[in-house]
Amino acid sequence: MEIGFNVAETLETRIAAVASEMEEFDETFAPDVRPADPRFGDFQANGVLPFAKKQGLNPRALADKLVGRLDGGAWSGVEVSVAGPGFINFTLRPPALLDWLLTYRGENDLKNGASDLYQGKKLVVDYSSPNTAKQMHVAHIRSMVLGEAISRLFEFSGAQVVRDNHIGDWGTQYGKLIHAYKHYLDAEALKSDPLEELERVYKKCDNLCKEDPSVLDSARAELVKLQRGDPENRTLWEEINRISESAFEAIYEELGIRFDTHLGESFYRDKVGEVYAELRRHGIAQESEGALVVFHPEHPRFKKQPFIIRKSDGASNYASTDLATVLYRVREWKAEKIIYVTDGRQQDHFQQLFLTVRKWFASTGRPVPELDHVWFGTILGEDGKAIKTRSGNPIKLKDLLAEAEQRARSIVEEKNPGLPAEEKDDIARAIGIGAVRYADLAQNRTSDYVFSWDKVLSFEGNTAPYLLYAVARIHSIFGRMGESAEIDESSATPFETGQEQQLARKLLTLPEILKMTLGDLRPHFLCTYLYELAGDFSGFYNADKVLVDDAGVKARRILLCRRTLLVLEEGLRLLGIRTLKRM
């Protein structure tokens, strides 16, 4: 029996086919199959109830009648029953579970199965996108970690992803930066930590501007010169960007993030004219006190709160470059979906941007891309306020990552003093960086969360160390089994024990979890799943001996070990977490 990669979808298609031959149903009926509460079955179809109500039919009777038609070959692997007021429960029989696991045996099988979901879809993930001349601090990690996981998950699901780093490399801050560069820079300090020095002189200039109007005038004059293309200021601007980007690059390197493009705000500054013209021509934008603005009369707030797309001094801004950016991505890359990963404070900006783009593209007859703002909350310290150093400054990201590795190094030292030093370093890096990353991904992104070293580095609970350990443990199990683990999977017999079945069922829900994760753009669904999977594996391994005499039983238990390892490793890879063979 062919059950397909996503069992819920297979069931849905089959139910719909049966319903289409029954006179009670019409095309508005959607079976709506989802993973079920395990006490009732593997999957549940919830769609009969609302459909029957709408048609004035008895839901329970309708469900009974539908289930009466679900028999014969295609349904032999599934137990079907009606529950409550008209839900339909499905439980896969052990041979069907085994079939599925024999079909999806390696990374490529999973990828082929998953790639139906977004096959060929062109999408852009706009993430990290920091502003130049500033160090990255802890808060910056969220966009990187979420954006990278989402990019990997979409790629795995068949999409063509452009990872675009929309760097904030244009704007009024350059007036002050250039003035500061020319007057306050310490050449030695610039050599030892360039970004730190840029930040220092920028702050100095910013403070002086408040006290001394002549400094402010000079900074403004530098900005105007830059905007007019003055060669000296252009060179300094490039130098500042180069310094920033190489500091960012060190962090991307450490996190294993590689962008396809780095088209920052400056790239779009000469592309905004067309945007202004079109938005005016279609009556979407209007002049207001010298500025160009967009109101959205249908929206409770944005009917009054303008989206300023050109400032009153004629300069472009964040909104204008973002509008030009959408046009560029759709025109040049044929983007069908654009995902922006930023913190929650930018929600208004993106809502206004999306409303504007939809109207603009619809009036010009362009295909309107799907637009998603993947926003996230704040990382809190143990005092419940945004996380800071003891002295009250933001924590630099490079310091946080260094501390993570160092703390993980002492844990490794304690647990495994006998390993070679180089391997200890490598394990520490994987645990430390993985722990920080995973802590971020495992949270529902829209909530704030409290960061605590003890929690993120714990080997218990929903953490990276726990999952990395689960992976290493299965590798060591295989190591100990040696040649006895080399079995022919086709000799496996159907699962019998409760633990075998529970683990097999969990493995089968992976496709639905991937779908949910991408549908909602929330990687924590996948994290929770992997955590539960590791728990089910432990339950199975503690209860059922693997190397038994019965060849069929042994084969199916080894198969479960193999597939658990596959799904854990693949799942963590998709989240951007590097796994280890031993630790």
CB of residue 326 vs ligand ARG: minimum separation in angstroms? 9
Identify the sign of the CA torsion 345, 572, 248, 406.
positive
Residue 369 lies near ligand ARG (rule: CB under 6 A): no
Nearer to ligand ARG, 5 or 340 (CB): 340
Residue 351 lies near ligand ARG (rule: CB under 6 A): no
CB of residue 433 vs ligand ARG: minimum separation in angstroms? 22
For strands 122-126 and 337-343, give the pairing.
Answer: parallel
Mark the segment that binds ligand ARG (CB under 6 A) among 51-59, 123-131, 367-375, 475-483.
123-131
Question: Cβ contacts of residue 88 below 8 Å, gap of 6+?
Answer: 15, 44, 45, 48, 63, 66, 67, 80, 81, 82
Contact predicate 286/276, CB 8 Å: no
Nearer to ligand ARG, 53 or 134 (CB): 134
- From candidates 122, 137, 142, 166, binder to ligand ARG by CB under 6 A: 166
Among the listed residues 520, 398, 526, the one whose alpha carbon sits nearest the alpha carbon of residue 467? 526
Alpha helices in 56-139 (DSSP H): 59-69, 94-103, 107-114
Nearer to ligand ARG, 164 or 405 (CB): 164
CB of residue 486 vs ligand ARG: minimum separation in angstroms? 50
Rounded to 10 degrees, what is the CA torsion of 563, 569, 572, 578? 170
Instruction: Measure the CA–CA gap between 44 and 31, rounded to whole angstroms.
Output: 9
Residue 130 lies near ligand ARG (rule: CB under 6 A): yes
Instruction: Measure the CA–CA gap between 151 and 123, rounded to whole angstroms.
Output: 9
Residue 307 lies near ligand ARG (rule: CB under 6 A): no
Q: Under rule CB under 6 A, how many of the chain's residues touch ligand ARG?
A: 10
Residue 245 lies near ligand ARG (rule: CB under 6 A): no
Among the listed residues 451, 310, 291, the one whose alpha carbon sits nearest the alpha carbon of residue 380? 451
Max Cα-Cα span within the chain: 88
Residue 317 lies near ligand ARG (rule: CB under 6 A): no
CB of residue 376 vs ligand ARG: minimum separation in angstroms? 12
Contact predicate 537/474, CB 8 Å: yes
Residue 340 lies near ligand ARG (rule: CB under 6 A): yes
Can you tell me whether residue 87 is helix, strand or coil? Answer: strand
Question: Cβ contacts of residue 331 below 8 Å, gap of 6+?
Answer: none
Contact predicate 53/86, CB 8 Å: no
Nearer to ligand ARG, 10 or 352 (CB): 352
CB of residue 277 vs ligand ARG: minimum separation in angstroms? 21
Mark the segment that binds ligand ARG (CB under 6 A) among 44-52, 122-130, 411-419, 575-583.
122-130
Rounded to 10 degrees, what is the CA torsion of 563, 567, 570, 576? -150
CB of residue 355 vs ligand ARG: minimum separation in angstroms? 15
Residue 328 lies near ligand ARG (rule: CB under 6 A): no
Instruction: Measure the CA–CA gap between 568 and 557, rounded to whole angstroms.
Output: 17
Residue 129 lies near ligand ARG (rule: CB under 6 A): yes
Nearer to ligand ARG, 96 or 124 (CB): 124
Tokens of 361: 């593209």
Residue 131 lies near ligand ARG (rule: CB under 6 A): yes
CB of residue 170 vs ligand ARG: minimum separation in angstroms? 10
> Percent helix, strand and coil across the chain, each rounded to 5?
55, 10, 30
Nearer to ligand ARG, 264 or 523 (CB): 264
Residue 342 lies near ligand ARG (rule: CB under 6 A): yes
Residue 396 lies near ligand ARG (rule: CB under 6 A): no
Instruction: Measure the CA–CA gap between 72 and 51, rounded to whole angstroms.
Output: 25
Tokens of 148: 């990278």
Residue 322 lies near ligand ARG (rule: CB under 6 A): yes
Nearer to ligand ARG, 114 or 327 (CB): 327
Nearer to ligand ARG, 325 or 502 (CB): 325
Q: In this structure, which amino acid lies at residue 191? A: K
Nearer to ligand ARG, 167 or 216 (CB): 167
Burial level of 343, CB count in 10 A (0-12/13-18/19+)? middle
Nearer to ligand ARG, 89 or 143 (CB): 143
Residue 233 lies near ligand ARG (rule: CB under 6 A): no
CB of residue 354 vs ligand ARG: minimum separation in angstroms? 12
Nearer to ligand ARG, 58 or 131 (CB): 131
Residue 168 lies near ligand ARG (rule: CB under 6 A): yes
Binding site for ligand ARG (CB under 6 A): 126, 129-131, 166, 168, 322, 325, 340, 342
